[in-house]
Amino acid sequence: MSIRNATGVAALAVTAALAFSQAPQQPTAPAAADQAVINDFNQRVQQYLATRKKASSGGPPQTSDAAKLNQYRRKLHDAIASVRDGAKQGDIFTPEIAAFFKKQIANTLTGPQGTRIRASLRRAEPVHGVPLRVNGAYPAGIPLQSTPASLLLNLPQLPRELEYRIANRALVLRDKDANLIVDYIPDVIAAAAPSHPAHDSQPSHEERP
């Protein structure tokens, strides 16, 4: 092999190694016990969507008029809250499901991306004092804190109607169109990863959805 070819092969090897080391982490396959918890969570989410469908009179209006969109959101919120009257914290995030989510978040925050995730959360618009109540609305005027994508990597994927949000260090399951708090787990961030300022001062390049 010529020196030029050998150099080219070496360069390709280094490039491939760097690309592999910088590639985003991929979620690992869950253990059987965890999969049972995930299946239970997914079933409860589907039950919520079935309830939501009963309350919904159609999709959002095809308009950019903020007043009409807000009117639709309030109407949908009230309809869903009425149909699931009596819903309480823990109906979806049961103790077993909450424990699984806390474990997944703790593992992520103590993993290779933990420092960047914590820094990203601190640099996001602060969200404190949000009154969390199942069937309640995420309060107007309080920004929705961006949630780092890698924090959610090892959590079950959600249907398009729902999203995870961080508020008061709790993990919130939010209905996007209705701006409705479906359920939440208190203190997942505080319990999983207390701040370590001496180690978290480096700049964060954490992407946000």
**pLDDT of 21:** 35
Asked if residue 15 is part of any domain, the answer here is no
Asked if residue 13 is part of any domain, the answer here is no
**pLDDT of 25:** 52
Quote the number of domains for the chain.
1
Asked if residue 138 is part of any domain, the answer here is yes
**pLDDT of 150:** 74
Asked if residue 3 is part of any domain, the answer here is no
Backbone angles phi, psi at 149, to 5 degrees: -60, -40
- Quote the domain boundaries for residue 180: 30-192
**pLDDT of 8:** 43
* Non-local CB neighbours of 153 within 8 Å, separated by 6+ positions: 24, 25, 26, 27, 108
d(CA 167, CA 132): 8
Which H or E run includes 164?
Answer: strand 162-167
**pLDDT of 89:** 97
**pLDDT of 141:** 58
**pLDDT of 123:** 64
Asked if residue 77 is part of any domain, the answer here is yes
Asked if residue 114 is part of any domain, the answer here is yes
d(CA 38, CA 23): 26
Asked if residue 205 is part of any domain, the answer here is no
Asked if residue 96 is part of any domain, the answer here is yes
Tell me the H-state helices in the chain. 3-22, 32-55, 66-83, 95-109, 114-123, 188-192
d(CA 198, CA 87): 42
**pLDDT of 66:** 87
Q: What CATH number does residue 75 fall under?
A: 3.10.450.160
**pLDDT of 124:** 58
User: Which portions of the chain are predicted below pLDDT 50?
Assistant: 2-24, 191-209
User: Per-residue pLDDT tens for 146-159?
Assistant: 667 777 878 999 99
pTM for the whole structure:
0.72
Q: Which of 27, 173, 193, 170 has the alpha carbon at shortest distance from 116?
A: 193
